Structures are given as structure tokens and as C-alpha cells.
Structure 1
Amino acid sequence: MKRVAASLFLGTALLWAGAAPAEEIGTIRLGAAVSLTGKYSSNGAFTRNGYDLAVKRINEEGGVTVAGKRYNLAVIYYDDESTPARGAQLVERLIQQDGVKYLLGPYSSGLTEAIAPVTEKYGVPMVEANGAAVSLFRKGYRYLFAVLSTTDQYLRGAVELAASVNEDPSKLRVAMAFENDPFSQDVREGVMEDAAKFGMKIVIDDKLPPELNDMSATLSKAKVLKPDLLLVSGHDKGAALVVRQLADQRVDVPMVAITHCDSAQIAEKFGKIAEYTLCAAQWASTLKYSDALFGSAADYAALYEETYGHAAPYQAAESSAAVQVFADAFERAGSLEPDAVRDALAETDIKTFYGPVKFDETGKNISKPTVLFQVQDGKYVVVYPEAFAEAKVRWPTPSWPTR
């Protein structure tokens, strides 16, 4: 027994004498207040999944190197309960009590709007992936950067698509129902601009309440007024409601376009009644984007599904891209001082599996377009813009008795 112990001791001593000390790896802590409960909980979970997947991959690939030293990434999370005031309070806690110097954004434009003044106050860079309201980038924030396309772009494509398939767009009648929150009202702004450009007539312009449980009033008007195009933005709850209640009330509309189709899983949950629906999206797994970390957009989608057991929504993809943007900025900054990282973020110009990321002076991404899916044969198929289209749009939507 003593001989074995002596041998072990000798071997260990020789190992220590002959080996160089292992490299010490530091940790860069990011903070995030994310909706894990409340009305945004499903999209909040997608947001966290996207952050976690990117952190895991970056760490597996050796982390990030800043001024010759290696660091792993880690995220400190709090649940903002889908409440703006709570989100702002938690970000204050992350900065003041936890000492976090870099923030990942929450889910939704409303929560991002509540948090941005706090990060600005303390000079803490925030890269966000789920606050697309264009109003965020009209306030002169210096520490806010967003990887996604702004909200006013979401349903412009549907207006342009409707114009392209009709001989006289000026004769088209448009029905709109948008939640009364910053995100959806900015979507409406983009729609109004494009509808005016084509001379379309707005016949319904409804505001949906934040606690959305019923759209029958809007759809009853649509049944009478017979619009050519119905546009809806009410996050995942609104997407599910409009698909279900259009079928329940047998409302025929030649073209229907909505936001948050994939997070609401309308094709998976509603089957045939979701067919023909157009879905605004930030990203699709079929797009021809790629990077060294995740590979192609399709590779990312496969890894996400393998990890979490369901298809990758764009909310997760853009969240992963936000972490990649931070990692790139840390390395280029050559410093972990927040102002140096902020300046590196401002100079970002990279290609990712999610798409190109390049910020203008307001902090918004000016390089990446939005896309439109259509539910075709139970699948989400990109139909717009033409450069990314996998198939032609199916139009007009057949009436309910013939479907």
C-alpha cells in the first residue's frame, strides 16, 4: 500500500515538474431579464434557448480571446414576468448588485423600451434580438444595438405581395387589427405607408387589447366588408386566435398575413385551417446564410431541434445571433471596458447563420431583410421576397366550403 502511494506521489511530482501550468480561462458574464412567466413566456423561453445555445457553442469552440486571454461566456438570468416595470428593476439589479457590464435584451419591444433607459444611464452595452419597434431607434440611445430588422418591415411584404398579384392595387381593400403595443403599432406604421403608396383603401383599422382573448368583433366586420387583405399583429396569442376564429366564423379573405406564426406554431397546432396563411418572419432555416460557428441556417435549425425537441423559431435564431455579435465585439475591442466594447459593437459588420449584421448610427441592423412564409401543405415555405422564395405564393385563398 505504501509502495503504491509512493509511486503515485512520485508520478504526480514528475508530472508537475515537467508540465506547463494549464491556461487559466476567465469568464465574461452577460445579464438578461427574460420573460419566463407571463404572457410572453413561450417567446421568452425561445429567447433564452437561443442565448444558451450560442453560449454553449462558443464555449465549446474555445470561448473568446480578448487581448491574448481566453474567456468563456456565462449568462445571469432573471424572470421579468412579462412586465416592463419588473424588467427595468431587474436590469438595475444586474448592473448594480451583480456587477454585470453587458446586457442581452428581453423579449418584446415593450420590455426593451423599459430597459433601454437603464442601460443607457449606466453606460452598459445591450445587444438585443427581440425588440424591433422602430421607435426604439429614434431616441438617440448609444448603447442599444439590435440584430433584427425593425418592426415597420414585418408586413410591408404582404402589402407588396398583394399588389403584385392584383392588376389594380388601388382597388384593394385592407383590414388591419394590431395590438396596442409598441411592436404592433410600428408594424401598422409600415403597412399604412405601403398601403398609401399603392392607393389601397383601409376598411378596418382595429386596436387589439394587450390581454387578447377574442377577435370575433374584428372578424365579424371583415365578414361584412369583405377585405382583399387581412393583416394582424398580436404576438403568438393573436396569431393563434386569428387562425382559429377565421375558421370558426367561416370568414373568407383572399389573403391573410400575420406576425408570430412560428412561435404560435399555427401549422403544427391547427393543421389544414392554417393553410394559405402568410407569416412575417425575421429568419428561415432555408435561407442561404452561414458562419463558422453554426454552419448554415439549416445546420443551426437541426442543432436547435436536436437540443430542444422542437423546430427553431426565429426568436431563438436571432437571440443566438445577439450572443455571436457580443463575442465578435469582445475580440475586436481587445478590452472588456464597456465603452471599448460599445465602440466595437458600433463597427460590427459580420455574416452569421441568421444573416448579415451591420449597425447604423442608431443601433439598428441595416443589412438583413425580413421574409414571408406561407403555410403550404403543413410546412412554412418562404414566398417573399423573390430572391429568397422557395415556392410561389398560393393565392387567392379558397373559400371555406371549397377547402
Structure 2
Amino acid sequence: MLHHRTLALAAVAALGLTTAPVFAQAGDTITLGAAVSLTGKYSTNGGHTQKGYDLAVKKINDAGGVKVGGKTYKIEVRYYDDESTPARGAELAERLIQQDGIKFLLGPYSSGMTKAIAPVTEQHKVPMVEANGASRSLFTNNYKYLFAILSTSEKYLASAVTLAAENAEALGKKPSEMKVALAFENDNFSQDVRAGVLEDLKKNNMKVVIDDELPRDLNDMSATLTKVKALKPDMLVVSGHSKGAATAIRQLDQMQIHVPILAMTHCDAAGIIKKFGKAASYTLCGTQWAPSLTYSDKLFGTAADFAKEFDKAYGYEPPYQAAESAAAVEVYANAFERAGSLDPQKVRDALASTDMMTFYGAIKFDDTGKNIAKPMALYQVLDGKYEVVAPSKFAQTKAVVPAPTD
């Protein structure tokens, strides 16, 4: 485990204790602020997010810190627990900026939390580099201080629909004869994923036979799966963050339902291989990043090098939420150095002109603040491992479609 001040601050924040104000340019330290889900329904991914931030901070500091206008600074992060509640996230962003004097924010986990915080950072003209808010609705508000390093949500499962269409013949059908079931959480992210999937299905003339909303607590999708059992769709698409992914695999297994093509988000973050073993086999999973991708940078080395370092620090292979979070800190460090200043406006302008390669992938922002330089990838669970099967440029192996029935 890592032991440095970021974790101490997190512990203080989690206990709800007050501390003396920390200013973004205090002494030789740049303090970034972050409201992250350490409790509540997003706590699993909130933990991955925090660990990604912490590992990058440690790596940058161990390498000598950040050089800004001839002076060298260390980086640290002040955390608060947003409790997976948007209103709390907005309140904490206000606290970080107004009470703690923080001039630079890292994003929370999830699109809904990011959507709650973005108006606050925009109002105060405080840059926020976020790594876990992919909803395309975030980028339609003319925000000037929001920068997202991940691919937007409508692209998450496009590769899965394309893959299904390409393999329709293996099911003895044309793409237009394929039946599809959808089950999505009613949050910004998942509904955007759904919108992208519907567009892709329409392009391939595939028929939607089930279009259900997951229950709010994400604990039970048996009502949807009962329909799946009766209607026998060729493809089931699920998006409900980590909890939804785990519920889907668990209940498909319990109800002994076989779907030729199962595609979902958040497989690796939910740990479906470790938790469910063979039951997770052949699942297709949208991913922002994978250790096998051929990206690299000077700080971490290759994507595989980052994965090894994360595993050494935390005892598990990093899901993409941790990787993109680490890359967000790298983007800040790069912007500080190029700005040659810690003036928020100058740093904001440097962020807007970012054009860099990281172990996580290429990062370049358009005028709306989203990253336009990195594609999504698609995993499949094969022989107890996540193997990249799309896009073909990055594929480690060919996808197995349809899933075998044994």
C-alpha cells in the first residue's frame, strides 16, 4: 500500500473532521482537490479512482515533482467523501474551492457526480480534469473549465454491436434478424450508453425486444431476465456500473440463462472473473483501456508497466478507472509545466491545448473539453482472462461469438 499525505488527508476527510485551510500554491506543494465516492453505491469505483490519483502523485513526486516557472513543486491531493450523492459532491466542490482555497480539481467518479460538480467549478473558474465522467451531456453546456480524458459514453459498446453484426451468420441469421435485449441503469452515463447502442442497432437493423430500466438499487434484475428466458434474444446489453455488472452475471448463472452474446460495461471494475469464475466466460466488456494496449509515456512506461506498478502497490490488476485517473494527474502536471504558472486561467489555457501521449492513450481536447484522440476497446472473458478483441488494431485474439452453451 502507498503511505503518503494524500491518504492521510483522505482519512481526515472520511471522518468528516475539519483541518486547517490548504492553499493550492502553499510553499512548494500544489494541492489538487477531489470529492470521490469512498462510501455509497459507487464506492468500488471511487476506490479505484482514488488509487489511480495516488499512484500518479507518488510517481510524479518520486521523479522530482513538477517544474513550474523555474520552481519545483510536489503534488498532493485533498480528498472528501461525496458518499455517491450528487448534492454532496457539489457541496464538497464548493468547500474545496471556497474554504480550502483549492485552485485545481480532479473529477469524482461517475457522470452523475461530475455533472453535479461541473457547474461549481465553472462558476468559480477553477479547472477540473476528470477521468470518470463519460456522459456526452457533460459536453453540451459550453463549459470552459472541464476537461475529460476518457472516451464519451455513447462509444462504450459500439464495438460490441459491430461485433454482433459481423458474427450474425454464426447464429444462422442476418443482422436484421437478430433480437436484442437492453437493461440499463437510469443515470446519465448508462442512458448515454443506451442511446449509443440504440443508434448502432438501428444502423444494423437489429430488433430491440426488451428495453428495461434496472432497479434503483441494482440488486435484482430477475424481472428482466425472466423476459430474456422467454424471448431468447441473440444479444443482451447491460449497463449499471460495477454493481449492475455483478448482478447480471450472478443472476444469469442462478437462473441458468444462456445468451449467445452478452455485452456490458464495468466488467473488470466489478471483478466478475474473480467473483463468478466460469459464469463470467465469454462476456464482452467495453473498456477505456487495457494493459495490453501499446501506449506508453516517460513517467510510467508502457500500459503493462503501469499495470505491474499498480498491482505491486494495491494487490490487484488495475481496472481502467484507475488507469484513466492516474493519467488525469499526468495531464495536470503537463499543463502546469507548459503554463509556467499556477494561475488558474493560464493552467486552463494550457489544458485546452493539451496534445500528449500517455500510458493510457493519446489525449487531445476539443472545444467542448472531451478527449478526441483515444478510441474505446472491447474485452472478452476468455479462459479466465480479459482479452482485447476489438478494435482489430489492438485485438489480442479473435472473439468467440456466439458463446458456447456448455
Q: TM-score range by the shorter chain?
A: over 0.9
Deviations 1:148-167 (A, max 9, x none): 00000111111000011114
In the alignment, what sits opposite 1:6?
none
TM-score, normalised via structure 2 length: 0.92
1:379 equivalent in alignment to 2:385: yes
In the alignment, what sits opposite 2:81?
79
Contact 1:25 1:69 (C-alpha < 8 Å) held by counterparts: no
**Which residue of 105, 108, 111 corresponds with 1:109?**
111
Measure, in 2, the Cα distance between the counterparts of 1:315 and 1:352: 15
Measure, in 2, the Cα distance between the counterparts of 1:361 and 1:69: 31
Counterpart code for 2:368: T
Contact 2:215 2:221 (C-alpha < 8 Å) held by counterparts: no
**Pairing 1:102-181 to 2, within 5 Å after superposition:** 102-167=104-169, 168-181=174-187
Measure, in 2, the Cα distance between the counterparts of 1:398 and 1:201: 23
Measure, in 2, the Cα distance between the counterparts of 1:44 and 1:218: 28
Question: Following TM superposition, by how much is the alpha carbon of 1:395 offset from its aligned partner in structure 2, in angstroms?
Answer: 1.5
Question: Following TM superposition, by how much is the alpha carbon of 1:145 offset from its aligned partner in structure 2, in angstroms?
Answer: 0.3
**Pairing 1:4-403 to 2, within 5 Å after superposition:** 26-167=28-169, 168-399=174-405, 403=406
- Determine which structure has more spread, i.e. the larger CA radius of gyration: 1
Contact 1:25 1:70 (C-alpha < 8 Å) held by counterparts: no
Measure, in 2, the Cα distance between the counterparts of 1:144 and 1:25: 27
Contact 1:357 1:368 (C-alpha < 8 Å) held by counterparts: yes
Measure, in 1, the Cα distance between the counterparts of 2:299 and 2:333: 11
Measure, in 2, the Cα distance between the counterparts of 1:366 and 1:229: 29
Measure, in 2, the Cα distance between the counterparts of 1:322 and 1:210: 30
Question: Following TM superposition, by how much is the alpha carbon of 1:171 offset from its aligned partner in structure 2, in angstroms?
Answer: 1.0
Contact 2:289 2:320 (C-alpha < 8 Å) held by counterparts: yes
3-state SS in 2 of match to 1:195:
helix
Measure, in 2, the Cα distance between the counterparts of 1:251 and 1:273: 11
Unmatched tracts of structure 1, length 5 or more: 1-23
More divergent stretch after superposition (250-259 vs 102-111): 250-259
Counterpart code for 2:66: V
Measure, in 2, the Cα distance between the counterparts of 1:338 and 1:149: 25
More divergent stretch after superposition (204-213 vs 97-106): 204-213
Measure, in 2, the Cα distance between the counterparts of 1:229 and 1:138: 31
3-state SS in 2 of match to 1:388:
coil
Measure, in 2, the Cα distance between the counterparts of 1:263 and 1:166: 29
Deviations 1:65-84 (A, max 9, x none): 11111111010000001100
Contact 1:32 1:76 (C-alpha < 8 Å) held by counterparts: yes
Contact 2:39 2:83 (C-alpha < 8 Å) held by counterparts: yes
Contact 1:32 1:78 (C-alpha < 8 Å) held by counterparts: yes
In the alignment, what sits opposite 1:5?
none
Counterpart code for 1:145: F
Counterpart code for 1:76: R
Measure, in 2, the Cα distance between the counterparts of 1:25 and 1:49: 25
Counterpart code for 1:299: D
Contact 1:94 1:100 (C-alpha < 8 Å) held by counterparts: yes
Counterpart code for 1:162: A
Measure, in 2, the Cα distance between the counterparts of 1:171 and 1:136: 35
Deviations 1:320-339 (A, max 9, x none): 00000000000111111111
Measure, in 1, the Cα distance between the counterparts of 2:362 and 2:403: 34
Question: Following TM superposition, by how much is the alpha carbon of 1:388 offset from its aligned partner in structure 2, in angstroms?
Answer: 0.6
Question: Following TM superposition, by how much is the alpha carbon of 1:252 offset from its aligned partner in structure 2, in angstroms?
Answer: 1.7
Counterpart code for 1:108: S
Number of residue pairs matched? 377
3-state SS in 1 of match to 2:216:
coil
Measure, in 2, the Cα distance between the counterparts of 1:287 and 1:156: 19
- TM-align CA RMSD: 1.0
Measure, in 2, the Cα distance between the counterparts of 1:301 and 1:215: 33
Measure, in 1, the Cα distance between the counterparts of 2:275 and 2:253: 13
Measure, in 1, the Cα distance between the counterparts of 2:359 and 2:78: 25
Deviations 1:210-254 (A, max 9, x none): 311101011110111111110000011110111111111111211
3-state SS in 2 of match to 1:386:
coil
Question: Following TM superposition, by how much is the alpha carbon of 1:25 offset from its aligned partner in structure 2, in angstroms?
Answer: 7.0
Contact 2:160 2:263 (C-alpha < 8 Å) held by counterparts: yes
3-state SS in 2 of match to 1:78:
strand
Measure, in 2, the Cα distance between the counterparts of 1:336 and 1:243: 47
